[in-house]
Amino acid sequence: MNQLLRLPSFLSCRCLHTKRLKRSPPKYFDDQMQIPTKMELYEVKQAEWTAPEDVADLFWRRIVYNSAILSMRRIFREEYEASPTGFNAIQIKKEANEELDRLIEENEKRNKDLADARVKREKEVIEKLEEETLLEIERRLDRETEKAAIKTEQILSLIEQSKNFITKEILTKKFAKPWKIRLISITRLI
């Protein structure tokens, strides 16, 4: 019977594979990262485009992830064995939903407190900025009034001194006065 099912020699596995008569086996690459085993240490193959520190980080993360999964399985198994009735999926889902609702509530409360604190902080900052701007405006106004007072004093002193300045009006008055006297004296003579 086995001889009847045996393929003839001209139809070897290689021949079937090349003619696509059989499903091809998956290709094996040396660069594939293999799952770590408990018994043997292994080396992570580094691709050309990755940095050595990235490979080391990936190696470490994979080991940590695997150990976390193993410890979670162990804890789950211990809890399952410790409970008298086993796990009730409906009760677990209900507890998870209650915990999620509680966490959402706490988060909303925390967000509200943070928002209130942020609003209060912003008000304090705005008040502080308003005080600073008002003080700066007062300082500038004081400086400008001092400058204006100094300028008015200078102008008033210049006005006082302007009586002695040589201007066209003053010159005409000064020259007209002696000429009037001479004209008067000349007219008397005539």
pLDDT of residue 28: 55
Q: Is residue 21 part of a domain?
A: no
- Ranges of residues in the chain with a pLDDT under 70 are 1-46, 84-87, 178-190
Residue for token pair 């006297």: 181
- Answer whether 0.75 is exceeded by the pTM: no
pLDDT of residue 1: 45
pLDDT of residue 9: 56
**34-39, Cβ contacts within 8 angstroms, sequence gap of 24 or more:** 36/62, 36/63, 36/66
pLDDT of residue 85: 67
Q: Is residue 4 part of a domain?
A: no
Q: Is residue 142 part of a domain?
A: yes
List the helix and strand counts (H, then E) for the chain: 5, 0
Q: Is residue 105 part of a domain?
A: yes
Q: Is residue 79 part of a domain?
A: yes
pLDDT in tens, 152-166: 999 888 888 877 777
Domain that holds residue 100: 57-163
As a whole number of angstroms, the distance between CA 79 and CA 122 comes to 50
pLDDT of residue 48: 74
pLDDT of residue 39: 43
Count: domains in the chain: 1
